[in-house]
Chains A and B, each alone.
Chain A
Amino acid sequence: MAEEMRRNLMELMKSTDDVLGIIVTDRDGVPILKVAEEEAPELGLRPTFISTFNIATDQAGKLGMGRNSRMVCVYGRYQVVHFNHLPMVVTVIASSVANTGQLLALDSQMAPLLASLTNVVDV
């Protein structure tokens, strides 16, 4: 089942243009499922980078507009999209020319996969 999940995630990554990596982690950035191309920036897959989203989403939820669900960070060569499914976090790393709307739509495509992983992380 784990292998099928990884294969499913790999197919999702390869079928979306310019996506370099998809990683499902807990709030501290510890990976649960990870697929990445060789061109993916290694620093972007580390817990130290992914765990910053946990802090940012907590603070963003205090701005009076409800819970923060997604965050898009665009850099020079890459863009990173985070999805808040606490206690899980999904991070998608793509090149800066990727279609951001298409990356955001990956959320609904990954919903059944994330539903299967509900009991993996302690709340």
Chain B
Amino acid sequence: MGCCCSTEQENLSQDGEVNERTRLLNDPVSNTYQVTASSIIDVGALECHTLEQHEYIERVRTYNQRVNAIPQVKTSNKRHHEVQLLYDTPATERVLSAQPISLADFNMMITASQKVVAAVAQIRVEHKEDLVVPFGIP
């Protein structure tokens, strides 16, 4: 164990076991070491994980099942500018030949939405009290 000005290295146990000299708190140097270790490019130590045959077959089967299970559902949660796959709409003639909404309903929607926009534009914050209130000061 060295003093603040000591240049000697700390003597850790040979096996790396916890002893009376082990640091209690996390070593900030070890965090730096971990970051460095993940950033280092060590071509010689690269893992070459070759798949077992049964694992390969199992994964292929799992992926096929999942791909076949993807539903043909219209994703209305996507934004309009995002490109989507085309989905088939069955019986399009029924959709296109349906009665359109009446002119009165359409005008009502336009009027109502204009009123909503005007009302939102008039939202104001009323200043009632001071924001910073001193308290506990004798």
Are the chains A and B members of one assembly? yes
Q: Show the binding face of A for B, using Cβ within 8 Å.
A: 1-2, 5, 8, 26, 28-33, 47-48, 51, 55, 59, 62-63, 108, 111-113, 115-117, 119-121
Q: How far is the CB of B108 from chain A (nearest CB, A)?
A: 37
Q: Show the binding face of B for A, using Cβ within 8 Å.
A: 39-41, 43, 46-51, 56, 59-60, 63-64, 66-68, 70-72, 83-85
Specify the chain A residue showing the minimal Cβ separation from B67. Answer: A2
| A-B pair number, CB within 8 angstroms | 59
Q: Is the CB of B51 within 8 A of A47?
A: yes
Q: How far is the CB of A101 from chain B (nearest CB, A)?
A: 20
Q: Is the CB of B63 within 8 A of A8?
A: no
Please measure, in the bound complex, the distance between the C-alpha atom of A38 and the C-alpha atom of B21, giving whole angstroms: 67
Q: Beyond the given A1-B67, A30-B63, A112-B84, could you list 15 further A-B residue pairs with CB under 8 A, ordered by the A residue number?
A: A1-B70, A1-B72, A2-B67, A28-B51, A29-B51, A32-B63, A33-B67, A55-B46, A62-B39, A62-B41, A112-B83, A115-B84, A117-B67, A120-B66, A120-B70
Q: Which 8 A-B pairs have the closest CB atoms?
A: A120-B66, A30-B59, A2-B67, A112-B85, A2-B68, A1-B70, A32-B63, A112-B83
